[in-house]
Amino acid sequence: MTQALLELATVSKTFSRGGFLSRERVEAVVDVSFRLDGDRAEIFSIIGESGSGKSTIARMILALQAPTAGHVRFRGRDLAELRAEDERTAFMAAVQPVFQNPFEAFNPLKRMDRYLFMTCRRFTGLHDEAEIHAAADAALQQVGLTLAEIRGRYPHELSGGQLQRVAIARALASNPSLLVADEPVSMVDASLRASIVALFRKLCDELGLSIVYITHDLATAYSISDRIIIMQKGRMVESGDARTVLADPKHPYSRKLKESVLEPLAPGETPMFAR
Amino acid sequence: MSAVPNTARLTTGRDTGPVVSARDLRAWYRLSMFGVVREVKAVDGVSFEIRSDEIYGLAGESSSGKSTLVKTIAGAIRPPLEIVGGEIAFNFMAGTDGLHRASGEVAGQVRWRHLSYVMQGSMSVLNPVRRVRASFADFAFRHMGLDRAGFEAAVVSHLARVNLEASVLDAYPHELSGGMRQRVTIALATICRPNFVIADEPTTALDVVVQKEVLGMFRGIQREMGSSVLFVTHDMGVHAHLTDRLGIMYAGRLVEEARTRDLFARPRHPYTRHLIESLPRIGDDKLRRGLEGSPPSLADPPDGCRFHPRCSFATERCRREVPAMTPVGLDHRVACFERDRVEASQ
């Protein structure tokens, strides 16, 4: 077996809240295991309702939070053992996040190009200004933008879809091998959503970039994923090939989730809430 | 107050006239900075009617002007927003000209009694430091004409319609789940049996399982009360399953309107068509393509049809002239010069 790109081995995360006397424990993630192969890029979707632990998994993969039990390994290295500065930097370059709300992800007083230049400078080892600009432009071209378009622009001058493209370009600037996208299209307008989702597929196929796609939207997950897992209350209730699982979900919760999706009607279908 | 009879619901009964009608409505934001006036034409010439006992859907993306349209209809006009032109009429305010021109006294009697709202953020409707019971008393008590005991009984029986027990009245909003809170706000908005309810993205913050439940209850209550509803959401899946008629907004204008079923079956505007086609479906392996470009800035919209820079059907005429809403079938209107070509290409 080749080395896994990412491996979660019986990972659990428990948060405790409350005071000294009345301590309440919340099991956000319970015994989750999965692995992404190192030699084949794929889009791996994590689906679940709010509070199902999807974002906690994302934070643990990004090493922003340590699991209470179990191990998260990236290329065989346990994230809990990443101590040295250069090791952490190399990890951050290889695993990059894209967050949900592009309007909150960027400082409104800071020009958009700065984020790209900063990422290039820190992670690619480039020092020459012209080289940095060329690298930023190359990253932007991957997402269908150019440096000339966003040079000197502030976040409020761009639409949600453009901002999210810049966020993805910024993540690509460090030449990562894994992208963790936590609800990346839920704040993006419907007419632009399809193009961002298609962009993920393109990046996976053309750059060989593996993507962990976290969403509650079954339809977009179906359209781009290779494999999915369905989470409920911190537990994995179903997993497998995306098409197979979503075409015929087995677990009662997965079924309920699929039945609740409101899709445009096919001819002859009746609306769920007709007059 | 003769303009606002309290028995409007009884007297209108099977009224066939529209409950709400807007004609050539223009609501702009006018900002004056250092003597330079900047106009944002958020609602620019919108006409439509909402009939009695129907859910009228309004779809559009961010910055399409739908929130401004909702504010204008609800009479929540604050500078820099101004109503520059057009008219709004409500059948329950006969002889008056919309809420925005009504006196404070009349508006106070109409709001909640005849016109109420369900908002996206239930937390910003319910007072976070008071029990749910207090919110009901604040919003509805003075409109109901009941004594304390009678009011409490009415609230409890109304809560049962959204499957909530009387015990939620003693809860603080943060103790309830998002779905329960949104059901409380729906109960709150409908307890006075209003003629007209504005629902602005009421289920967008809920996850799919809860959303389905809440939408089912919403339709149930609407059916029972016979209220008219303006239901705003960008989610075309929700529109497909809930609304009776649907209007599509783009860059401050209504571009198409039809019975929901007809609109999905035979969209005539290229933008509507794109909205429907870009929706991914489970079981459909075709990868969806997004629309190129972005919605225009409403401070400086393009001339002619505002969709022309993103439209593959655009001609020279579309760049110069503004297409008017034109009937193309029963209850179906579209604002597109190339509507026949759009339809022929499906």
The secondary structure element, H or E, covering residue B67 is: helix B66-74
pLDDT, tens digit (0-9, with 9 covering 90-100), for B68-87: 999 899 888 888 899 999 99
Separation of alpha carbons B94 and B86, rounded Å: 17
pLDDT at B289: 73
> B54: part of which helix (H) or strand (E)?
none
Residue pair A143/A199 in contact (Cβ under 8 Å)? The answer is yes
Interface of B with A in 181-210 (CB under 8 A): 207-210
- Count CB-CB contacts under 10 A for residue B251: 23
Q: Is B215 in CB contact (< 8 Å) with chain A?
A: yes
B-chain CB neighbours of A224 within 8 Å are 287
Among partner residues B271, B276, B294, which is closest to A159 by beta-carbon distance?
A: B294
User: Is B284's pLDDT higher than 60?
Assistant: yes
Q: Across chain B, how many H-helices and E-strands are there? A: 12, 11
Give percent above pLDDT 90 in chain B. 55
Residue in the structure block whose two tokens are 């799919």:
B208
| Residues of B in Cβ contact (< 8 Å) with A272 | 212, 215-216, 241-242
β-sheet bridge partners, residue B334: B256, B326
B54: contact with A, CB 8 A cutoff: yes
Q: Which of B238, B276, B285 sits opposite A262 (nearest CB)?
A: B238
Residue of B219, B282, B291 lying closest to A273 (CB–CB): B219
Q: CB contact, 8 Å: B179 with chain A?
A: no
CA gyration radius for chain A?
Answer: 20
The alpha carbon of residue B234 is apart from the nearest alpha carbon of chain A, in Å, by: 7
Separation of alpha carbons B185 and B206, rounded Å: 14
Closest CB to B61: pick one of A190, A196, A260.
A190
DSSP state of A146: -
Q: Which of B240, B275, B280 sits opposite A191 (nearest CB)?
A: B275
Residue B1 has pLDDT above 60, yes or no: no
Would you place residue B11 in the very low, low, confident or very high pLDDT band (cuts 50, 70, 90)? very low
| Portion of chain B with pLDDT greater than 70, in percent | 95
Higher pLDDT, B140 or A269: B140
Nearest CA in chain A to B283: A247
Between positions 142 and 161 of B, the ones with CB within 8 A of A are none
b/e per residue, A50-75, with b = 16+ CB within 10 A? Answer: ebbbbbbbbbbbbbebebbebebbbe
Enumerate the residues of chain B whose CB falls inside 8 A of the CB of residue A259: 212
pLDDT greater than 50 at residue B6: no
Nearest to A171 by CA among A63, A93, A111, A225: A93
Which chain A positions have a beta carbon within 8 Å of B281's beta carbon? 219, 222, 263-264
User: Once rounded to an integer, what is the mean pLDDT over residues A170-186?
Assistant: 93
Domain A41-53+84-254 falls in which CATH fold?
Answer: Rossmann fold (3.40.50)
pLDDT confidence of residue A63:
94
Closest-CA residue to A231 (of A248, A216, A220): A216
| Predicted confidence (pLDDT) at residue B9 exceeds the cutoff of 60 | no
For chain A, percent of residues with pLDDT exceeding 70: 98
Do the chains contact at A190 and B275, CB–CB below 8 Å? yes
Interchain contact B281–A (C-beta under 8 A)? yes
* ipTM for the complex shown: 0.81
CB contact under 8 A, B282 and A218: yes
At A1 the pLDDT is 61
| Whether A216 and B207 lie within 8 Å, measured CB to CB | yes
Mean pLDDT of chain A: 90
Q: Which pLDDT score is estimated for B16?
A: 64
- B278 chain-A contacts, CB cut-off 8 A: 190-191, 193-194
| Chain A, nearest residue to B236 by Cα | A264
Average the pLDDT over each of A5-9, A19-23, A135-139, A219-223 and give the range with the smallest value.
Answer: A19-23
Q: What H or E segment, with its residue span, contains residue B39?
A: strand B36-50
Return the amino acid letter for B315.
T
A59 φ, ψ to 5°?
Answer: -65, -35
Contact A265 B62 (CB under 8 A): no
What is the predicted pLDDT for the residue at A51? 81
Confidence category of residue B15, pLDDT binned at 50, 70, 90: low
DSSP assignment string, B103-152 = -HHHHHHHBTTTEEEE-S-GGGTS-TTS-HHHHHHHHHHHHHT--HHHHH
3-state secondary structure of B301: coil
| A195 to chain B: closest CA residue | B290
Strand order in the sheet with B196-200: B115-118, B196-200, B228-232, B55-59, B245-250, B253-259, B332-334, B326-329
Radius of gyration of chain B measured on its C-alpha atoms: 21
The Cα of A86 is separated from the nearest Cα of chain B by a number of Å equal to 40
> How many other CB atoms are there within 10 angstroms of residue B148's CB atom?
9
CB contact under 8 A, A159 and B295: yes
Suggest the residue from B174, B180, B207, B210 to mutate for an interface test with chain A (most A CBs closer than 10 A).
B207
Number of other residues whose CB lies within 10 A of the CB of residue B277: 15
At B186 the three-state DSSP class reads: helix
Residue B231 and residue B199 in contact, taking contact as beta carbons nearer than 8 Å: yes
The alpha carbon of residue B275 is apart from the nearest alpha carbon of chain A, in Å, by: 6
Q: Which residue from A minimizes the CA distance to B56? A: A275
Give the range among A227-236, A259-268, B84-93 with minimum mean pLDDT: A259-268
Which residues in chain A are closer than 8 Å to B236, comparing Cβ atoms?
190, 264
Query: From the CB of residue A81, how many other CB atoms can be counted at a distance below 10 Å?
Result: 10
Reported as a single tens digit per residue, the pLDDT across A240-265 is: 999 999 999 999 999 999 999 888 88
**C-alpha span between A251 and A256 (Å, rounded):** 9
Which residue type does B198 have? I
Q: Which tokens go with A111?
A: 């020009």
Inter-chain CB proximity B294 and A246 less than 8 Å: no
Res A274: pLDDT: 83
Calculate the alpha carbon distances from A249 to A21, A32, A43 in Å: 43, 19, 19
Assign B199 a pLDDT band (cuts: 50, 70, 90): very high
Q: Which residues of A touch B244 (CB under 8 A)?
A: 275
| Shortest Cα–Cα distance, A168 to chain B (Å) | 16
Q: Average pLDDT in the A23-38 region?
A: 91
> A155: which chain B residues are within 8 Å (Cβ-Cβ)?
none
Q: How many residue pairs from chains A and B have C-beta atoms closer than 8 A?
A: 139
Contact A191 B54 (CB under 8 A): no
Amino acid at B126: L
**Closest-CA residue to B283 (of A261, A196, A183, A271):** A261
| Residue whose structure tokens are 């759009």 | B342
Exposed / middle / buried, residue B345 (Cβ in 10 Å: 0-12, 13-18, 19+):
exposed
User: Which helix or strand (DSSP H or E) is residue B332 part of?
Assistant: strand B332-334
- Are B234 and A189 a contacting pair at CB < 8 A? yes
Question: How far A83 CA sits from the closest chain B CA (Å)?
Answer: 38
Contact B278/A256, CB-based, under 8 Å?
Answer: no
Q: Please, is B271 exposed, middle or buried when counting C-beta atoms within 10 Å of its C-beta (0-12, 13-18, 19+)?
A: buried
Count of CB atoms situated within 10 Å of the CB of A114:
13
- pLDDT, tens digit (0-9, with 9 covering 90-100), for B156-184: 999 998 989 999 999 999 888 888 899 99
**What's chain B's average pLDDT?**
88
CB atoms within 10 A of CB B313: 18
Q: Is the pLDDT of residue A55 over 50?
A: yes
Q: What does the alpha-carbon distance between residue B197 and residue B229 come to, in Å, rounded to a whole number?
A: 5
Q: Is the pLDDT score of B202 beyond 60?
A: yes
Determine the average pLDDT of the residues in A47-74.
Answer: 92
Residues of chain B contacting residue A198, judged by C-beta atoms under 8 Å apart: 287-290
pLDDT at A194: 84
Q: Give pLDDT tens digits for B223-273.
A: 999 999 999 998 899 999 999 999 999 999 999 999 999 999 999 999 999
CA–CA separation, B308 vs B183, rounded Å? 41
Q: Which helix (H) or strand (E) holds A224?
A: helix A218-224
